[in-house]
Structure 1
Amino acid sequence: MLQDKITQYTAEINAFTTQNADELEQFRIKFLGTKGIIKDIFDEFKAVSPEEKRTLGKVLNEFKQLAEAKYQTLKDGSTEAESSKDSDTDLTLPGEGFEIGARHPLALVRREMVEIFSKLGFIVAEGPEIEDDWHNFSALNFPEEHPARDMQDTFFIKKGGETGDIALRTHTSSVQVRMMEAGKPPFRAIMPGRVYRNEAISARAHCFFHQVEGLYVDENVSFADLKQTLFYFVQELYGAGTQVRFRPSYFPFTEPSAEMDISCTICKGAGCGMCKHSGWVEILGCGMVDPNVLENCGIDSKKYSGFAFGMGIERIANLKYEIKDLRLFSENDARFLKQYKTSLI
C-alpha cells in the first residue's frame, strides 16, 4: 500500500548520510528527480479514493519536505567541508609558473631602428597599405612603362577607373608622398611598414615583407648629410667596426641614387654564404629626392632639397640574428620564436 511505501522510504531517508558529492547526487535523483520515487508516489496518489486522499495528503507532503530538507542539509554540510578543506591550503606555496613570451625578431629590429633614427630627430609616419596609382607610382616619378607597374611585381586590386589603379603598396615611399602633400618642409621622418610584391616565396624572397624608409627635406640638404646619417645608423646598429661603401644605382624617385653595402657582420669581411664570399652585403637603397617628386608634392625644388632611403627589416634582421630563411619570420613556429625570450624589454 501507499502508506507502507512512504513509511519504508521515510526510514531510508532518515538513515541516509554522506559527504560525497556523487552519492548525494544519486540521492537527489532517486528521490527528487523527474523520474524519482516522490514523483511515482504522487502519481499513485492520484488513483486512491477521496477518503484516503484526506489522510494521505498531509503525510505525502511531509514525506516530500523530509526528502528535500535531508538533501539540502547534506548539501550544505558537503559545501562547508569543501570550504574547510580549501582553508587548509598553504597560501605561501609558490604558484604554478607560466611560460614567458617573446617579441618577434622583426619587432625587435624595427624598434631598435626607430630608436636609432629618433636620436637624429626622425619621427615615425604611417600610411595605408592599399594605395592608388598616384601615391604608389606616379608621384614618385615612375613612368607609365616602368616594369614595377607590371602585374608580375604588383598585387593590383583594381585596374583603371576614375581613380586609376588600386594596389597593395609595393614600398612605403607612398607615405613620403602623403607627408609632403599634407605639410610644408622641413620633414624628417621614417616610415616603417609592411609592403607587398608578387614574387615567388623562397628562402630569400617573399610576397610580403617589411620596410623602413626615411625622408629628410629642408633647405640645403646634401648627399653628405645622407651619407653621415646612414653611417651613424650602421655604426649604432652593427657596431663601430662596421665598414660602409656606396655604389651608384638608379631609382625613379632619387637622383643621384646609390646602394649602400656594409662589411659582412657574419664573416667580418672574410667571405661567407651570406655575402656570397665578397665580404660585403647590400642593405639599402638611397639618394637625393628627385626634383620632379618634390614638385609633384607641391614643394619648391629650387628652394628645398632632400634625401630618401629604404631598407628591408628582414634583411637587417638576417644580418643581426644570422637568420638564413625569410620564411621563418612568418611561419609562427614557436621553436623559432622562443629563441628571443630574453629580449622582452
Structure 2
Amino acid sequence: IGAGGLGDPIVAGLALSDSRMILSGAIPAAAASSEQVHRGHPHDVLFGVNTSSDGLLAVGSNGRLWQSRDGSQWQSNSNVGDSRALLAVSERQGNLLAVGQQGGIFHSAGDGWKAVEAPVKERLFAVAQGDFGLAVATGAFGAVLCSQDGGRSWQQSQIDWPALIGQNYQPHVYNAAIDARGRIYIVGEFGMIARSDDAGKSWQSLHSGEASLFGLALSDTGLGYAVGQSGTVLRSRDGGESWKAITSNSDAILMDVAIRADGKAVATGIRQALSISPTSSQARVLNHDAFLESWYSDIAVLGNAFYAVGEQAKVIKISL
C-alpha cells in the first residue's frame, strides 16, 4: 500500500482507476467547519478509524494502532502485530479486532494483541462486530469471513456470487456492517449491497449498479448510507431494505460515510467531503482546503463531531 498521495495506484486498499474529481463553482458549500487535529510523518497513513468505548481508535501503515480519548490528542504506543498495514479496526465491549494486508486478523480482549488464523490471504478492507460474538470481515476477491466467538476464529462465507450479483465473478467486498438485529450487510463492486440474516450462511441482494461502493453506515433509526465511485450516494430509510440514489453534486471517489445521532452524515474520499441531511434530497460539498488537498479513507463520529483519517496520518475534525 502506498503511503503517499494520489499518484499511488492503490489508496486505502482500493484500486483506483481515476482519482480526479470535478468541482463546479455553482455548487453551494455547506455551513460547516473543519480543522486538522493530528498529522504524522510524511510516509504515515491512517486507513481506518472507529468509535470505541474510550474515544476513537485508528489503524494504518506498519501495523500501528492510534488512540484518542477526545479526538484531538492522539497517541500510538505500540504495533498491533507485524509490519503489515492495517485497514480497519472495531471495538465492542472491550473486544478489539483489526484487519489488513494478506488476510491479517488480530484480536485483543484486554490481554494483548494476538494474530488469528484467517481462512484467506486476500487483503481485508473492513471489520464489524455485533452482539453475542458475531463479527464480519470483508476483503478482496469475494472474501467474506464470519465469526461467532468475537473474532477468535473465522469461517469463510460460501457465497454463490453468480446468483447474488448476476456475474460469474468474485467481487471485492469493500465494507461491512452489522445492524441492531444482528443482520450483516456488505457493499462492494457493481454497486453491490447484500444482506445475511443468518450469520453469513445465506445472502440476498438489495442493490446493484455500475459504481463500486466503498463506504457503508447504518443507524439504529433505520437510516443508512452507502457511498462510492463517481460521487455515488445511496440512502435507505427502512433499515437497509431499499436504497435510493440522492444527488451528491460530486464526481469524486467517496470512500466512507458516518452518521451522527441526529441523522446528519458526512462522506469523505479523494479530495472531497460531503455533508448530508436526512431531510434533504441532495448532499452538499464541503469546500475546505483540508479536503481539497488530500484523501481521507475512513470517518467516525465522537460526540457531535466527525473525524476523518487519511494520508500522512492526518486527522480532520468536522463540525456541522
- Which structure's CA Rg is the greater one? 1
TM interval, short-chain normalised? under 0.3
Higher-strand-fraction structure: 2
TM-score, reference length from structure 1: 0.23
TM-score, reference length from structure 2: 0.24
Higher-helix-fraction structure: 1
